[in-house]
Structure 1
Amino acid sequence: MKKVLIGLVVVVVALGGVFYYLASNLDSILKQVIESEGSSTLGTDVRVDSVALDLRGGTATINGFTVANPDGFSDADMIRFDELHVALDLASIGSDVIRINTIRSTNPYARFELQGTRSNIQAIRDRFPPASSEPPAESSGPAPVIALDDLTINGIQGTLQSDQLPRAVDVNFGNVQVTNVEGTPDVLAQQIARSIMAQLAGNARDALEEVASGAVEAEIRNRVNEATDDVRNRVDEELQNADPEVREAAEALRDRLGF
């Protein structure tokens, strides 16, 4: 009987040690899960500096979240957040559907690279099947079902790099929002990623058209100015060889025309 009691004590102590280890290492465990699952879903490296989990408050703060460019593009980060703040509905933990109330970002950044007709964002989008081909999420399976009420990313600063532009330019990619999505972790991750990438692609396309149009206008202005300078220089050369009366009349006319 004594040996049994000792054995039970050993088991309890061991379990306590396991629970203590898990509780004290939840942040690092969650960090590893985000990096592993994120990289698997997007097909490119996902990195996180740190995670701060507040179980009592139902919040998690993800610091230094980055998504690398896919293969075939530059070594720069494609997406970067200084911070992602997640608010969880604690009352939903014991229910069939775990609910995330909000996800908010701090200092979001995105990089859009276009090589010919293919972009880095499209390379990521190609990994996801059309929404209509997804199997419906089931709440009775072994994987938990998670619902996200609202993910909002405002004021995305970014960089445009394209063979249509003489150089990379800094732009504002606007805002991205994903609302009312639900599914198993894998399905939910694909839904969120697909929606974000689609909106980013649209915002980047609009920004590229605006920047390219401005670049063309600037090029036209530069060429007109160069042509005007060339004509002015030729006129000056001709006037140097003209009679004083002709030169005086021509200069008066040029002053009136602002030439």
Structure 2
Amino acid sequence: MWKKLGIALAVLLALIAGAAYFLFSNLDSLIKAAIEKYGSAATQTAVSVDRVHLSLTSGAGSISGISISNPAGYSSSQALTLGDAAVQVDTSSIAGNGPIVIDTVTIAQPHVTYEVKGLGDGSNLQTIQRNVQAYAGSSGQQQPAQQQQSGGANRKEIIKDLYVTGGQISVAAEALNGRSLTVPLPDIHLTNIGQASGGATAAEVANQVLGAITNEATKVASTALTQQLQAAAQGALQGAIKNGGSITNGVGSQLKGLLGN
């Protein structure tokens, strides 16, 4: 009997060890799959990740090549390419059911495409932001039930410092009539995400980060676009005067070409 019990215990330990080995050896791919699955659900666009690496001993990690596609109806293929993200996790927060504490997240050299279909229309970033807001709201309502069913697998997060640095914005608009316009994205620093509420869901974190990027990109890109259009209108006016034609007709016809009409 004791021999059989010992064999059974050895088999059980082997299974546990095998499961632990599978989990830790495949942790990076599991995180990658989760980002792509839930990121696509939140944004309602395709989200892809090139590579993920996380060390559970040091807490240091990196996520490379996060791409968020544009929603349907926009001409550019990608809305955001987040480049490389460096992460430092507080390893003491990994065990247990409390929020996972992330000391720093640094997103370096993201590329943002700010696209508007026409003057007065919303942008691609605002469309994605609305999708993420809706998803964050619905996931927040479902979170307690999900945690109960999954044994706390959907853990919340606290991010002490999140930096977005060295970004660029490409502006795409019908009003540019095919011309390119690139402006720098201002650096962003968010602090204590989820701290006041005892942790934020992944969707809530995404909503805050994407919201900050969208706000900064919208301000900078819309200002640059307005300046470009004003300069073009001034050039059209001067050209009409120089050519001695009708100012109204000259400016009107050139602005029609500028606006893609």
Output the TM-score relative to the length of structure 2.
Answer: 0.75
Corresponding residue number in structure 1 for 2:164: 153
Query: How many residue pairs were aligned?
Result: 226
Check the 8 A contact 1:31/1:50 in 2, yes or no. yes
Instruction: Answer yes or no: is 1:124 the counterpart of 2:128.
Output: yes
Which is further off, 140-149 or 168-177? 140-149
Compared with structure 1, are the counterparts of its residues 216 and 156 closer, same or farther at alpha carbon in structure 2 (3 Å cutoff)? Answer: farther
Identical positions, percent: 29
SS in 2 for 1:164: helix
Task: Return the match for 1:105 from 101, 107, 117.
Answer: 107
Give the C-alpha shift of residue 199 in structure 1.
2.8
> Which residue identity does 1:211 align to in structure 2?
Q
Which is further off, 28-37 or 187-196? 187-196
* Cα-to-partner distance string for 1:172-195 (whole Å, 9 max, x where unaligned): 232333322211333333333333
* Cα-to-partner distance string for 1:192-243 (whole Å, 9 max, x where unaligned): 3333323322232222223323333444455566569xxxxxxxxxxxxxxx
SS in 1 for 2:58: coil
Question: Mapping of 1:152-191 within 5 angstroms?
Answer: 152-167=163-178, 168-182=180-194, 183-191=200-208
Higher relative contact order (CA 8 A, sep 6+): 2
Which is further off, 143-152 or 215-224? 215-224
Q: Give the gaps of 5 or more residues in structure 1.
A: 229-259
Question: Mapping of 1:39-50 within 5 angstroms?
Answer: 39-50=40-51
Q: Distance in 2 between matches of 1:224 and 1:84?
A: 52
Check the 8 A contact 1:41/1:190 in 2, yes or no. no
Q: Distance in 1 between matches of 2:109 and 2:212?
A: 20
Q: Distance in 2 between matches of 1:52 and 1:222?
A: 57
Of the two, which has the highest radius of gyration?
1
Output the TM-score relative to the length of structure 1.
Answer: 0.76
Compared with structure 1, are the counterparts of its residues 88 and 219 closer, same or farther at alpha carbon in structure 2 (3 Å cutoff)? Answer: farther
